[in-house]
Structure 1
Amino acid sequence: MLQRVAQQYGNITSMLVTLDKHNKSYNFIASAFACGTAGYFLTSAHTIKPHDNLGIMISREINTFQTTKAESLEGFAVTLVGFDPINDVALLKANEKLDFNMPSPSAFLGDETAIKVGTSIGYLGYPYGSQGLETVKISSSIISSKILTSNGTRALQLDSSVNDGNSGGPLIDIASGKIIGIITGRYSPSGPTPVAFIGGVPLGQDSNISYAVGISYAVDLMKDEGIYV
Structure 2
Amino acid sequence: MEEPAAPAALPRVAPAPSTPPTGLSATAARVLPSVVSIETRTAGGSGFVVDDRGHILTNAHVVAGNTRVTVVLSDGRRLTARVAGADGDEDLAVLEVDYPGELTPATLGRSSDLSVGDQVLAIGSPLGLSGTVTAGIVSALDREVRLGSARRTAVQTDASINPGNSGGPLVNARGEVVGVNTAIAAGRGGGNIGIGFAIPIDRAAPIAERIIRN
Tell me whether the two structures share a fold, i.e. TM-score over 0.5.
yes
Higher helix share: 2
Gaps of 5+ in 2: 1-22
Deviating 4+ runs (over 6 angstroms): none
Task: Choose which of 203, 207, 210 in structure 2 pairs with 1:221.
Answer: 207
**Over alpha carbons, which structure has the higher Rg?**
2
| Counterparts of 1:177 and 1:162, CA distance in 2 | 18
Q: Which string of whole-angstrom CA distances, capped at 9 and with x for unpartnered residues, describes residues 124-175 of structure 1?
A: 111110xxx3x3111110010111235352311112331221111100011x
Q: State the Cα distance separating 1:221 from its structure 2 match.
A: 2.9
Q: State the Cα distance separating 1:99 from its structure 2 match.
A: 1.2
| Counterparts of 2:193 and 2:78, CA distance in 1 | 33
Amino acid at match of 1:138: V
* Aligned length in residues: 187
Q: Give the alignment's Cα RMSD to 1 decimal.
A: 2.3
Residue pair 2:35, 2:46 contacting (<8 A) in 1 also: yes
Residue pair 1:89, 1:217 contacting (<8 A) in 2 also: no
1:188-203 aligned at under 5 Å gives the runs 188-190=186-188, 203=189
Q: State the Cα distance separating 1:91 from its structure 2 match.
A: 0.8
| Counterparts of 1:148 and 1:161, CA distance in 2 | 19
| Counterparts of 1:205 and 1:75, CA distance in 2 | 28
Gaps of 5+ in 1: 20-26, 61-72, 191-202
CA 152–101 in structure 1, closer or farther in 2 if over 3 Å, else same: same
Relative to the length of structure 2, the TM-score reads 0.78
- Percent identity between the aligned chains? 25
Higher strand share: 2
Relative to the length of structure 1, the TM-score reads 0.73
| Counterparts of 1:117 and 1:87, CA distance in 2 | 23
Q: State the Cα distance separating 1:211 from its structure 2 match.
A: 0.9
1:178-189 aligned at under 5 Å gives the runs 178-189=176-187
Q: State the Cα distance separating 1:79 from its structure 2 match.
A: 1.4
| Counterparts of 1:205 and 1:222, CA distance in 2 | 29
Q: State the Cα distance separating 1:49 from its structure 2 match.
A: 1.3
Residue pair 1:141, 1:158 contacting (<8 A) in 2 also: yes
The residue number in structure 2 matching 1:33 is 48
1:111 aligns with 2:113: no
Task: Choose which of 115, 140, 143 in structure 2 pairs with 1:145.
Answer: 140
| Counterparts of 2:186 and 2:127, CA distance in 1 | 17
Moved more, 85-94 or 157-166: 157-166
Amino acid at match of 1:185: A
| Counterparts of 2:135 and 2:92, CA distance in 1 | 22
Q: State the Cα distance separating 1:50 from its structure 2 match.
A: 4.0
Q: Which string of whole-angstrom CA distances, capped at 9 and with x for unpartnered residues, describes residues 106-130 of structure 1?
A: xx2122222111111011111110x
| Counterparts of 2:32 and 2:82, CA distance in 1 | 23
